[in-house]
Amino acid sequence: MTQEQKRVHILLKAVIYHYHGLDELERNDLEATAEQLDAKNELAWALEFIAKDYITSFDRARTFLNDIIGDYEKDKRIELIQMVWQANNLKGYVTEMEATAMLKLAKDWNVEKELIELVLK
């Protein structure tokens, strides 16, 4: 996995987790993901990205991610949206705010139908 791919993966998870406030389970998952991907620097970068302006962090991340993910194959875009959906389900539920954020990204990436199918399963 390239550094850019690691940044995308970590930022995507981090920004969705921070959408309503990062809890301990989510923080642990972010750290475990960074460990698995050998992406500790990317995690520090993502957390700094969010902390720079918490209020606008989702919109800034959305712009950043769209610039990169727009070039990804559809299968990869689906894989990323599924990853973040499943990660949010670790706590046993997905908040309305998180679901709305993921729907916005799925629409941007033209994989809204696939996310809805995943949710209905």
Please give the model's pTM, rounded to 2 decimal places: 0.90
Annotate the chain with three-state secondary structure.
CCHHHHHHHHHHHHHHHHCCCCCHHHHHHHHHHHHHHCCHHHHHHHHHHHHHCHHHHHHHHHHHHHHHHCCCCHHHHHHHHHHHHHHHHHHCCCCHHHHHHHHHHHHHCCCHHHHHHHHHC
35-65 pLDDT, tens per residue? Answer: 999 999 999 999 999 999 999 999 999 999 9
Q: Which of 23-27, 34-38, 50-54, 87-91 has the lowest mean pLDDT?
A: 87-91
Interatomic CA distance for residues 59 and 41, integer angstroms: 22
